[in-house]
Structure 1
């Protein structure tokens, strides 16, 4: 379960940037290609924040849809799974979105 390692890194970063202030909520964007299970991440967040200044904070996950552009036909399309294949049959694609992982905001106080 890689969600635990990801969540621990997020909690570490948030607690460091909170500079001792209580963390109330954290908003995170995660690309669909990162294969994160939202329920697992919420569970791990509760574990990782226990006993920290983020204990009890809310986690808001925004899953970013995976999109790619085909180099052969120049079509942009949604990736519904990990198979990077355009409808034209080409596997020569550039992933545009879906791999990001970013702490967008946090509320402290």
Structure 2
């Protein structure tokens, strides 16, 4: 069960690295605009804000990776739960304020990973 929990945490971290890349580097490209449903003028006007959001997604990913790699398993467990909780709250907030799609893309994977980390814990 621990392997499955770690795999789920790693997948959530990878997802947030992907979001970082989209928001920081690809926001104004066709791929970035398509991912977020943005027109070229909207993307251009919001690219600084998006880069800031991307940076925060990178921090979430870094925290999850830190939790996975921490040499003290009990501390790593706590770090994973903290950062998964941050992802869950961000996903719930985004799902309620921006688009419901975020509930399935961000909040649901975090909730599933939390469940498996707790079971493995």
Length-normalised TM-score, structure 1: 0.33
Higher helix share: 2
Larger RCO (alpha carbons 8 Å, 6+ apart): 1
Length-normalised TM-score, structure 2: 0.31
Larger Rg: 1
Higher strand share: 1
